[in-house]
Amino acid sequence: PTRPRGLPEALEPRRQRRLSRERDPIEAKIDLHGFGRFQAQDALTAFLMGAQARGYRSVLVVTGQGRRGGTGVIRASVHEWLQAPALRGVVSGFAPAARHHGGDGALYVTIRRV
């Protein structure tokens, strides 16, 4: 029997720093620019499930910053998607990316082990 997984947590500051300084590898990246809201959600879910199946521990999700300084639809929704029941067994945590990895328009996502 498997126990239910909790919501993803914020990354530990040390882990986030190691990712931003590239001391821990970012093993894969997905760029959601150009997707509609529903296509982006489907692509993100498939990408994260595939990353878990491959044994990846951390990935970069690029959402973009939105148009004309506003928050884009994908960027505004991605936190909700990462906390959805479909991904609770996949995502262990997430945090904003460092500026050189996309800053406010990107997230580091850590993956649970299978």
3 inside domain: no
Amino acid 55: pLDDT: 95
Amino acid 23: pLDDT: 87
| Euclidean distance between CA atoms 41 and 74, whole angstroms | 8
Is 2's pLDDT higher than 50?
no
- Structural domain boundaries, residue 25: 9-111
pTM confidence score: 0.86
Residue with tokens 């850590």: 110
Question: Which whole number is the average pLDDT over 57-69?
Answer: 82
Question: Which whole number is the average pLDDT over 75-87?
Answer: 91
Burial 64-103 (b: 16+ CB within 10 A, else e): bbeeeeeebbbbebbeebbeeeebbebbbbbbbbbeebbe
| Euclidean distance between CA atoms 31 and 40, whole angstroms | 9
Question: Which whole number is the average pLDDT over 55-72?
Answer: 82
Provide the CATH number for the domain around residue 74. Answer: 3.30.1370.110
33 inside domain: yes
When pLDDT is cut at 50, 70 and 90, the band that residue 6 belongs to is: low
95 inside domain: yes
74 inside domain: yes
How many structural domains comprise the chain? Answer: 1
46 inside domain: yes
pLDDT tens-place string over residues 11-56? 778 888 888 888 888 999 999 988 989 999 999 999 999 999 999 9
When pLDDT is cut at 50, 70 and 90, the band that residue 5 belongs to is: low
